[in-house]
Amino acid sequence: MLVITGAAGFIGSCLLAEFTRKNTHHIIAVDDFSIENKQANFIHTTGVEFIDREVFLAWFSTNAMRVDAVLHIGARTNTTEQDLEVLDHLNLRYSIHIWELCTEHQIPMIYASSAATYGNGEHGYTDDHALIPSLKPMNPYGQSKQDFDLWVLAQEKTPPFWAGLKFFNVYGPNEYHKGRMASVVMHTFNQIQATGSMSLFKSHKADVADGYQSRDFVYVKDVVRVIVFLLEQKPKSAIYNLGSGEANPFIDLARFTFEAMGKESNISFIDTPIDIRDTYQYYTCAGMDKLHNAGYPHAFHSLKEGVYDYVQSYLLPHRYY
């Protein structure tokens, strides 16, 4: 039996679809399944047991002996969330409870951390455990993920295998519901469809040209593949980066999206919104040596490959994973 939390969301629903196709486990899908704009992510899934996230912990307490592994992907993922109680409940205390049950019953656990824990990148983007206490996230969401990472590293008793995954900028199918928090690829696609053009944020740093703010964009198919590898191979328990290992400028992402749609590039620049300007990251790039040294054998999609596949296989036909 495999538990997937956050199963109605972006990454969680892709994992749900992947493991449903693999048919290796009976799947327990956990989330708030009442949210209407997420239902298309899972509505056609069959052979799965759905459990509301607010009753899951009680269910897990009495059914843990039947569970083979937990993929704890569920979280409050809005990077502009300011309600600390919501973040404490969903991203910290809920995660601690799952960890403790996995430890008590010796159940492997993989959980979602975030590259938001790296803050402005002053300490780099290396997933060395010794550096994690020095990290200073730039928003409450990132701090909630940092708090759980630090709690995990302080534990003497652990699940038999565990992995925390610092997701970088994930994009791909099943993010239709995310609104403002959707990937830049999806925003670009939607804006091109509506207007024939794309507006990117201006740079507010003298040493960075407009459009050359760079991020580590990682395709959700690679994220799923890494999680399958970790679950099956169970290398050394650790917190791992999960990015592509490359930093790409937003202007390239926009150009690739235009190309994948068969349209001429038409890119302009607007001011970065005031509410995110002070916490806006100008560069991220995941150090991926730890994962590769743990035996992960696969290459990641280049940004161009991922954008072309996402646009042509999913966004244009409005398909799901």
**Of the listed ranges 11-25, 64-78, 154-168, the one predicted with least confidence:** 64-78
Annotated active-site residue in 118, 141, 219, 321: 141
The verdict on whether 236 is a catalytic residue reads no
pLDDT of residue 165 exceeding 90, the answer is yes
Give ∠ CA 119-125-127 in degrees, rounded to 5. Answer: 110
Q: What is the pLDDT of residue 79?
A: 66
**Of the listed ranges 85-89, 161-165, 242-246, 264-268, the one predicted with least confidence:** 85-89
Domain assignments of the chain as residue spans, ordered by start: 2-171+217-244+287-301
Residue appearing with tokens 């960075």: 208
Q: Which of 222, 172, 319, 201 is nearest to 269 (CA)?
A: 201
Q: Where are the alpha helices (DSSP H) in the chain?
A: 10-22, 53-63, 84-87, 94-104, 140-153, 184-195, 220-233, 250-260, 274-277, 289-293, 303-310
Q: In what order do the strands lie in the sheet with 109-114?
A: 48-52, 27-31, 2-5, 69-72, 109-114, 162-167, 238-242
CA distance 45 to 17: 7
* Mean pLDDT of the chain, nearest integer: 95
Q: What is the pLDDT of residue 279?
A: 74
Segment 223-244 mean pLDDT: 98
Q: Which band of pLDDT confidence, cut at 50, 70 and 90, is reported for residue 219?
A: very high
pLDDT of residue 77 exceeding 80, the answer is no
pLDDT of residue 249 exceeding 90, the answer is yes
The verdict on whether 141 is a catalytic residue reads yes
Q: What is the pLDDT of residue 262?
A: 98
CA distance 153 to 54: 26
pLDDT of residue 81 exceeding 70, the answer is no
CA distance 27 to 84: 31
**Of the listed ranges 190-194, 269-273, 278-282, the one predicted with least confidence:** 278-282
Q: What is the pLDDT of residue 99?
A: 98
Q: What is the pLDDT of residue 276?
A: 81
**What is the CATH architecture assignment of 2-171+217-244+287-301?**
3-Layer(aba) Sandwich (3.40)
The gap from C-alpha 96 to its chain's centroid, in whole angstroms, comes to 19
Q: Rounded to 5 degrees, what are φ and ψ at 192?
A: -65, -45
